[in-house]
């Protein structure tokens, strides 16, 4: 398969870039990664779109998929060899630069499913990187329909960077605020933490209503996290729940499968068109620059381009 473009995960990949990870499996549920561990040297990345150029003779539908644009959970590379059941054919009406956001949109969808926002509840999202912006966009699809006088069914976006807050507003947030304003904007029924910053997690816990829900989508790597969980938290009946996209949570497994969630993800890609979040396109030999820019917070999303004519 010849790669067209791929997307950097500004969460997981940055942790690996900075060495802030444990020696664990890359992803036990992605074919090709289940036997690989997080240790150097490491080829990584899991959001690649390319064109099928050749197939093994034992692939039953080889003739029909040659030349097709497909998505695969593969590392950043100009060419990859993957199993037939490890690719998803990209619908004709979805551009490659939107398709590379498939894992990010699925992650955002998984977070929303874990949060279970009810009509009339106010949600806050800490962190407006790729995932936070996509959670914002998905939630806003509902709040635009059910918002009541700006008091119910609101989506509040929190970030330290004004540029990201401006984009959050365009993605549909009801209000955008700095961390210093959270205390006066809350309390919230549901808090979703996707900033990767433990201070944001503490703020999420502190500013969630008693009986409310805190959903943690961040991976903090091997950093020690300190939280203040005093008597107020002890009495609050708040729920803290981790959310991770690799599997379907037990409570949803009777209704949802990975296949059903993938199908909805493709529909959301059509509606959201997340390629508008790409702020820089680089080649793979500029990888050091790409990760440093993301680490410095200077870009929202960076894609690697392998075929200059197909993903610009």
Bridge-based pairing state of the strands 188-193 and 123-126: parallel
Q: Name the token pair of 172.
A: 């549909």
Local structure of 241: helix, strand or coil: strand
Enumerate residues 6+ apart whose C-beta is below 8 A from 178. Answer: 158, 159, 160, 165
- Per-residue pLDDT tens for 93-111? 999 999 999 999 999 999 9
Show me where the domains of the chain are located. 2-102+257-305, 104-251
> Residue 18: left if φ>0, alpha if ψ -120 to 50, beta else—which one?
alpha
Q: Which of 37-51, 72-86, 151-165 has the lowest mean pLDDT?
A: 37-51
Mean pLDDT of 47-67: 92
- Per-residue pLDDT tens for 155-197? 999 999 999 999 999 999 999 999 999 999 989 999 999 998 9
Bridge-based pairing state of the strands 175-177 and 278-282: unpaired
- Evaluate if residue 20 carries a pLDDT over 80: no
Reported confidence tier of residue 310, pLDDT bands at 50, 70, 90: very low
Summary mean pLDDT of the chain: 89
- Per-residue pLDDT tens for 254-296? 999 999 999 999 999 999 999 999 999 999 999 999 999 998 8
CA 116 distance to own-chain centroid = 17
Q: Is 2-102+257-305 assigned to CATH 3.90.180.10? A: yes
Burial letters 140-177, b for 16+ CB under 10 A, else e: beebeeebeeeeebbbbbbbeeeebbebbeebbbbbbb
Whole-angstrom distance, CA of residue 187 vs CA of residue 190? 9
Residue 275: the pLDDT is 97
Q: Name the token pair of 76.
A: 């950043």
Reported confidence tier of residue 219, pLDDT bands at 50, 70, 90: confident
Do you find a cis peptide bond into 41, omega within 30 degrees of 0? yes
Cβ–Cβ < 8 Å for 58, 21 = no
Mean pLDDT of 206-226: 90
Reported confidence tier of residue 30, pLDDT bands at 50, 70, 90: low
Reported confidence tier of residue 297, pLDDT bands at 50, 70, 90: confident
Q: Quote the strand ranges of 75-202, DSSP E.
A: 87-89, 123-126, 155-158, 175-177, 188-193
Mean pLDDT of 146-156: 72
Cβ–Cβ < 8 Å for 131, 11 = yes
The radius of gyration of the chain's CA atoms, rounded to the nearest angstrom, is: 20
CATH superfamily of 104-251: NAD(P)-binding Rossmann-like Domain (3.40.50.720)
Residue 157: the pLDDT is 97
- Evaluate if residue 27 carries a pLDDT over 90: no
Supply the DSSP symbol for 172. Answer: T
Residue 53: φ, ψ to 5°: -110, -30
- Per-residue pLDDT tens for 234-248? 999 999 999 999 889
- The DSSP code sequence of 263-308 is HHHHHHHHHH-GGGGEEEEE-GGGHHHHHHHHHTT--SEEEEESST
pTM of the shown model: 0.89
Cβ–Cβ < 8 Å for 13, 44 = yes
């Amino acid at each position: 398969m010849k790669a067209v473009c791929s997307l950097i995960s500004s969460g997981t990949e940055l942790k690996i870039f900075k060495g802030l990870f444990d020696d664990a499996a890359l992803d036990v549920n992605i074919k090709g990664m289940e036997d690989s561990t997080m240790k150097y040297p490491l080829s990584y990345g899991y959001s690649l779109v390319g064109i099928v150029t050749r197939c093994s003779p034992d692939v039953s539908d080889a003739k029909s998929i040659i030349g097709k644009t497909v998505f695969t959970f593969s590392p950043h590379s100009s060419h990859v060899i993957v199993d037939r059941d490890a690719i998803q054919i990209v619908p004709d009406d979805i551009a490659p630069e939107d398709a590379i956001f498939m894992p990010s949109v699925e992650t955002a969808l998984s977070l929303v499913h874990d949060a279970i926002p009810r009509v009339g509840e106010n949600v806050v999202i800490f962190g407006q990187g790729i995932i936070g912006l996509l959670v914002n966009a998905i939630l806003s699809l509902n709040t635009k329909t059910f918002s009541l006088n700006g008091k119910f069914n609101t989506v509040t976006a929190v970030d330290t960077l004004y540029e990201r807050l401006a984009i959050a507003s365009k993605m549909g947030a009801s209000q955008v605020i700095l961390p210093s304003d959270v205390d006066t904007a809350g309390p919230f029924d549901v808090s979703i933490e996707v900033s990767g910053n433990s201070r944001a997690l503490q703020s999420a816990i502190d500013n969630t209503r008693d009986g409310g829900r805190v959903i943690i989508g961040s991976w903090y790597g091997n950093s020690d996290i300190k939280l203040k969980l005093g008597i107020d938290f002890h009495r609050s009946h708040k729920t803290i729940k981790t959310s991770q996209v690799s599997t379907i949570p037990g409570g949803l497994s009777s209704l949802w499968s990975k296949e059903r969630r993938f199908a909805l993800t493709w529909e959301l890609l059509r509606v959201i068109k997340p390629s508008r979040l790409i702020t820089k396109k680089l080649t793979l030999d500029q990888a050091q620059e790409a990760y440093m820019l993301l680490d410095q917070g200077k870009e929202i999303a960076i894609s690697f381009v392998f075929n200059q004519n197909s993903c610009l």
